[in-house]
Structure 1
Amino acid sequence: MMKSLTFLKPYRLTMGAAIFFLLVELIVELYQPYILSKIIDKGILNNDLSYVTKWGLVMLVLSVVAFIGGVLNTFYSTHVSQSFAFGLRKSLFEKVQTFSFTTFNFLPTSSLITRLTNDVTQLQNTVFMSLRIILRAPLMVVGSVVMALILDWKLSFVLFFILPLLFFFLNWMVQKGRELFKRVQENVDSVNSVLRENLMGMKLIKAFVRNDFEDERFQVINNNLKRKTATALKTMEVTMPVLLLFMNASILVVLWYGNSKVHSNQSNIGEIVAIVNYISRITSTFSVFSFIIMAFSRARASSERIEEVLTIEEDFIEKNEGNKLRNRIEGKVQFHDVSFQYPNTENDVLQDISFVAYPKTSIAILGSTGAGKTSLFQLIPRLYDVSEGTILIDDQDIRKMNSKELRGQIGYVPQEALLFTGTIKENLLMGRENASDEDVYTAAKHAQIHETILSFPNGYESKIGQKGVNLSGGQKQRLAIARALLRKPSILLLDDSTSALDLKTEAKLIQSLKEYDCTIFIITQKISSAINADKILIIDDGCLVEEGTHDSLLESSKLYKAIYYSQYGREEIPNAKGAN
């Protein structure tokens, strides 16, 4: 929990102010029973109305002081807790941005969302309660014990037997509660995971009429969360009855022993009333302890989950270490005996891949689903690192390059065109934030989407729904391509990014790419996209089985011929120049 608490350091003065006003409120409350004992013994029992009036007014003024102290304490406590949560969320989000794909495999999205929202809120509430309630409770207990001993240590001595036992009991309950609430938070992760998956796939669920199945699946997870939460809360609820039992027993002891002392003139009624008052305050404070235990138990569980994120060792790739790129990349890409397997797996996705892509050339990659094409793409911008072998860009090992600068010169269009909530222009500017309007329009024209954008009611200022839900598949693909082209990359990676385009639009797009001074890699299932490439790579089961031009592969590769015939039939085969 210490890692999380470091985010409180900037607010030490504000915390100090909150604690000061808490102490003002507390001191007043602790002094009032003492004044009350004097009013009873010297005023009421002696029928001295002036004494009662004078000290009654003092108690009234002190009550106003305590009220003001409580209000100011609440104000500063709120400021600290809100600022703490803001800083913690900010740091967590920044940390998540540094995660490599390997780390995302370890921490699923649903769990990260829970940690950045629910877990941070738990800590935020605990910080507020610590400054307003949790810190006040033990101080009230200690202060009440001290004041009771000052009044009559013999009557109050019973507290020395009961309080240590209760504190040991409370500490045990905190440890127990931490484990229980940690399991609760893990179940919240599961609920969020199913909920997120369901909402993202709602169209498919409705199309396949899977509503009942999804309802049952969610109910199972939801019931697990309910049972875990109920178990945790029931266990914590045991705390209060145990505390009240012992504290009420101590009051009975004080009253029994105090009665005999009053009759023997060894004690005053006012003192007994005050001691009972202090014990009652301890009892009422202990009634808050069950609430405090739950808060701390949840906070400790949430803190452990948050610190797991904050303390994850950054992947080497994401530390942005390596040589700065002094000049623009020319775009020569070489794979030398590259093999790759995903973290925590045993099988190679790619095996002994070797090829050279020269600057300003186009490379088409064909292969069956699951052959390893996308995995190969992800190695070029170092989204993953190779398991064996070497990848060179401009004859330099990319593991020695600064990953941030390397990616800054690569345009990447993933297999699933991902757009963000906002305007079309805002989405395109992700490619290059300082791009001019003319650059934006040019990139959109080359991506064959400019005219479509202008047909929207607000043009480039038209709003895009989450993940581009209000756009067609082809529109999303072309916008994603325009975003990559706006970067004016040295290397352009298109991962099956024209699958939703008709042949005419695709041909225009591929023709427009020739205006860009970059090396182009395109994963495709369509011969029409690969036919004019300078080199075609055929990947099968993680291995590079064939490479060459369209014409050479038609002559030498049975696999390429089979792909070609499946799309064009066995009529006369055109050469690459005549195709399109």
Structure 2
Amino acid sequence: MKTVFSYAKPYKWPIFIALCLMLLELSVELIQPLLIAKIIDDGILAEDVSVIWTWGSVMMGLAFVAFFSGVINSYFAAHAAQGFAFDLRQALFRQVQAFSMATFLRFPTAGLITRLTSDVTMAQNILFMGMRILLRAPLLVVGSLVMAFIVNVKLALYLVIGAPFLFVFLFIMARKGVGYFATVQHRLDRVNRVIQENLQAVRLIKAYLRGMYEASRFSKVADMLRKDTVKAMRMMELILPILLFVMNVSLMAVLWFGSFEIRNGDAQVGELVAVVNYAMRMTGAFSMFAWIIVAFSRAKASSERMEEVLLASEDLENHNSESSSLQRLEGDLRFENVSFNYQGKAEPILDKVSFHVSPGEKLAIMGATGSGKSTLLNLIPRIFEATEGKIFVDGLEVKEWPLKDLRDTIGLVPQQSILFTGSILENLSWGDTDAAPDELEEAAKKAQIHESIDLFPQKYGTRVGQKGVNLSGGQKQRLSIARALVRKPSILILDDSTSALDVKTENALWDALEEEAATMLVVTQKVQTARGADCILLLDEGKVVGYGTHAELMEQSELYRKIADSQTEEEVIINGENHS
């Protein structure tokens, strides 16, 4: 918890003021039984009305002091807790942004969402309540015991009898609660994961009529969360009855033996009332302990989960390194015996891949699903690090490039088009926030999406739904390409980014891209697209099985000939159907 609550340090003065006000409020509460005892002994029993009025007025004044202290305390406590939660959530989000892909894949997406939402809220609540109840309750117990001894030592001893048992009991329950609520938070992660998967695949679920199946799957994980939560809460619910039983026994002892003390003249009625009052306050404070332990257990479990993210510093990307004085990249790219495998996996995804692309050339990358095409592309901007071998950009190994310099000159269009909620203009400028409107429009024209945008009522101001839900697959791909072109990249990476385009639009796109002074790497399944490249790299199970022009591969590679022949046959069939 130390790492998480270190983010409360900037708010030390509001926290200090809130704690001082809480102590003032507590002091008033502890003084009141003494004043009640004085009113009873010196006023009511002595039949002195002036004493009753005097000390009664003092009690009213102190009540107002306590009231205003509580109000102001809540203000400062809320300010500190909200600021702490904001800073903590910001730190977690920045840490996730700095993760390398290897580190990111260690954490399920749903788990990261839970850490940034409910876990932060748990920590925020415990900090706020710490300045209101969390510290006040134990201090009230200790303070009541001390004041009871000041009033009458003999009577106070009866209150202490059950104290050792209660402290040991609460310590044990707190430790068990942390474990139980850690399990509950993990169950919550699984529920969030199922919800996330379901919402992302809603179209497929409706198309396959799998709504009832998904409801059943959700019911199972939600039921596991319910059972573990009930198990944790049942254990916590044992706390209050046991606490109240022990305190009520102590209270009965005070009343029983107090009556003898009064009869013998060793105690006054006011003293007994004061000690009973302190006993009642202790009982009330102990009744809050069940809630405190639940809140503390959940906050500790949440803090440990957040610390996993905050302390995951073994593999972070440095985005803040100073840019070098090097000029714009030329785009010369070379792989030398590059291999890659995921951590913990024995089988390599890429195995000794070598090739060279000169500045301004276009390399087409082909291969079956799972052959390592996308992984190869991800090694260039260092989204993943090569396990073996070397990758050079403009003669310098990618590891030696400042990460910002390297990625600033790369335009990446992923296999799955990702658009953000906002306008088309905002999505395009996401590629380069400094780009002028005419530059955005020029990129859209090259990507063959400008005419489609012009048909929208709001044109470039048209809102894009979540993940571009209101756009077609081809429109999303072309917007993604335009966003990459806005960057004016030296290396343009297109990971099967034209699969949803018709032949005419795709040809127009390639013609427009000829004007780009960029080295292009294009993953494609279309021989027609690969034919127009300067060179073709053919992968099979992570190995290079063909490298050359279309004509060279048609002569040298049996696998490439099979791919070309199969696509020629498909074209013949399609053309035949069209003529019929």
TM-score bracket for this pair, using the shorter chain length: over 0.9
Secondary structure in structure 2 of the residue aligned to 1:59? helix
Query: What SS does the aligned partner of 2:138 have?
Result: helix
* Residue identity in the other structure for 1:112: L
- Tell me what 1:457 maps to: 457
User: 2 CA distance for matches of 1:529 and 1:439?
Assistant: 27
CA contact under 8 A between 1:339 and 1:351: conserved in structure 2? yes
Cα contact 2:159–2:254 (8 A) shared by 1: no
Native 8 Å contact 2:420 2:466 kept in 1: yes
Q: Report what 1:46 is aligned to.
A: 46
Matched residues in 2 for 1:548 and 1:557: separation?
10
Deviations 1:456-515 (A, max 9, x none): 111111100000000000000000000000000010000000000000100010111111
| 1:475 aligned partner | 475
What is aligned with 2:84? 84
Question: What is the 5 A alignment of 1:365-380?
Answer: 365-380=365-380
The answer for the alignment partner of 2:334 in structure 1 is 334
Q: 2:323·2:405 contact (CA, 8 Å) conserved in 1? A: no
Structure 2 counterpart of 1:417:
417
Amino acid at match of 1:229: T
Shift of 1:320: 6.0
Counterpart for residue 430 of structure 2: 430
Alignment of 1:126-275 (within 5 A): 126-275=126-275
What amino acid sits opposite 1:401 in the alignment? W
Alpha-carbon distance, 1:326 to partner: 1.5
Q: SS at 2:335's partner residue?
A: strand
Partners of 1:346 and 1:198 in 2: CA distance: 32
2:288 aligns with 288
Aligned residues of 1:422 and 1:464 also touching (Cα < 8 A): yes
Deviations 1:166-210 (A, max 9, x none): 111111111100000000000000000000000110100010111
Q: For 1:57-96, list aligned pairs within 5 A.
A: 57-96=57-96
Cα distance in structure 2, aligned partners of 1:271 and 1:513: 93
> In the alignment, is the contact (CA less than 8 A) between 2:99 and 2:316 conserved in 1?
no
1-side partners of 2:235 and 2:556: how far apart? 74
Structural RMSD (CA): 1.4
The answer for the alignment partner of 1:324 in structure 2 is 324
Q: CA deviation at 1:376?
A: 0.5
Q: Check whether the contact 2:338–2:390 (CA below 8 A) recurs between aligned residues.
A: yes
Q: After TM superposition, give the deviation of residue 339 of structure 1 in Å.
A: 0.7
Distance 2:556 2:87 in 1: 62
Partner of 2:357: 357
The residue that corresponds to 1:390 in the other structure is 390
Query: What per-residue deviation string (whole Å, max 9, x for no partner) do you get for residues 12-48 of structure 1?
Result: 1101111111111111111110000011111111111
Residue 571 of structure 1 deviates from its aligned partner by 10
What is the distance in 2 between the residues matched to 1:570 and 1:449? 28
| Distance in 2 (alpha carbons) for counterparts of 1:322 and 1:355 | 30
Cα distance in 1 between the residues matched to 2:264 and 2:552: 117
Q: Structure 1: which amino acid aligns with 2:401?
A: M
Q: How many residues align?
A: 572
Whether contact under 8 Å (2:185, 2:302) holds in the other structure is: yes
CA distance in 2, matches of 1:233, 1:371: 50
Map of 1:578 onto structure 2:
none
- Structure 2: distance between partners of 1:70 and 1:316: 44
CA distance in 2, matches of 1:268, 1:213: 73
CA distance in 2, matches of 1:347, 1:323: 37
Is the 1:317–1:385 Cα contact (8 Å) retained in structure 2? no
Distance 1:65 1:220 in 2: 53
Q: What is the one-letter code of the residue matched to 1:73?
A: N
3-state SS, counterpart of residue 515 of structure 1: coil
Q: CA deviation at 1:322?
A: 9.3
Deviations 1:337-371 (A, max 9, x none): 11100122111001010111111100001111111
Taking a change above 3 Å as real, the CA distance of residues 398 and 320 of structure 1, as seen in their structure-2 partners, is: farther
One-letter code of the match for 1:82?
Q
Distance across 1 between alignment mates of 2:201 and 2:318: 31
> How far apart, CA to CA, are the structure 1 residues paired with 2:164 and 2:7?
33
Any gaps of 5 or more consecutive residues in structure 2?
573-580
- Note the C-alpha offset of 1:316: 5.2
Letter in 2 for 1:43: G
Distance 1:496 1:454 in 2: 26
Aligned-residue offset at 1:524: 0.1
Matched, 1:514 2:531: no
Q: Which amino acid aligns with 2:483?
A: R
Q: 1:159, CA displacement in angstroms?
A: 3.1
TM-superposed deviation, 1:291? 0.3
* 1:561 CA drift (Å): 1.5
Query: Counterpart of 1:536 in 2: which secondary structure?
Result: strand
- C-alpha displacement at 1:233, in angstroms? 0.5
Task: Write the distance in 2 (CA, Å) between the matches of 1:161 and 1:215.
Answer: 54
Q: CA deviation at 1:569?
A: 3.4
TM-aligned CA deviation for residue 317 of structure 1: 4.3
How many Å separate the matches in 2 of 1:170 and 1:325? 62
Are the counterparts in 2 of residues 323 and 400 from structure 1 also a CA contact under 8 Å? no
Which residue number corresponds to residue 24 of structure 1?
Answer: 24
Q: Residue 364 of structure 1 contacts residue 523 of structure 1 at CA under 8 Å; is this kept in 2?
A: yes
Counterparts of 2:11 and 2:144, CA distance in 1: 30
Structure 1, unaligned runs of 5 or more: 573-580
Give the aligned partner of residue 297 of structure 1. Answer: 297
Q: Which residue of 2 aligns with 1:445?
A: 445
For residues 86-134 of structure 1, the C-alpha deviation after alignment (integer angstroms, 9 at most, x for no partner) is 0100100000100111112110110000000010001111111100111
Give the aligned residue type for 1:26: L
- Alpha-carbon distance in structure 1 between the residues aligned to 2:385 and 2:285: 57
Deviates further, 408-417 or 336-345: 336-345
| 8 Å CA contact retained: 1:410, 1:489 | yes
The verdict on how the C-alpha distance between 1:538 and 1:382 changes in structure 2, with shifts beyond 3 A counting, is same
Matched residue type, 1:532: G
Once residues 457 and 95 of structure 2 are traced to their aligned partners in structure 1, the CA distance between those partners, rounded to angstroms, is: 39
Question: Normalising by the residue count of structure 2, what TM-score does the alignment of the two structures yield?
Answer: 0.97
After TM superposition, the structure 1 stretch with the greater mean CA deviation from structure 2, 45-54 or 349-358, is: 45-54
Q: Please give the alpha-carbon distance, in whole angstroms, between the structure 2 residues aligned to 1:571 and 1:221.
A: 48
Whole-Å Cα distance in 1 between the matches of residues 33 and 188 of structure 2?
46
Q: Deviations over 1:305-346 (max 9, x none)?
A: 001100002425446669836211111111111110012211
Q: Is the 8 A contact 1:412 1:492 kept in 2?
A: yes
Residue 11 of structure 1 aligns with which residue? Answer: 11
Tell whether the 8 Å contact from 1:85 to 1:124 is kept in structure 2 after alignment: yes
Counterpart residue type for residue 527 of structure 1: V
What residue identity is the alignment partner of 1:78? A
Aligned equivalents of 1:84, 1:315: Cα separation in 2: 26
- Amino acid of the structure 1 residue aligned with 2:237: E
Asked whether the 8 Å contact 2:98–2:317 carries over to 1, the reply is no
- The residue type paired with residue 493 of structure 1 is I
Is the contact between residue 317 and residue 382 of structure 1 (CA under 8 Å) also seen in structure 2?
no
Determine if contact 2:553/2:560 at 8 Å carries over to the other structure.
yes
How many Å apart are 1:259 and its aligned residue?
1.0
The more displaced of 343-352 and 219-228 is: 343-352
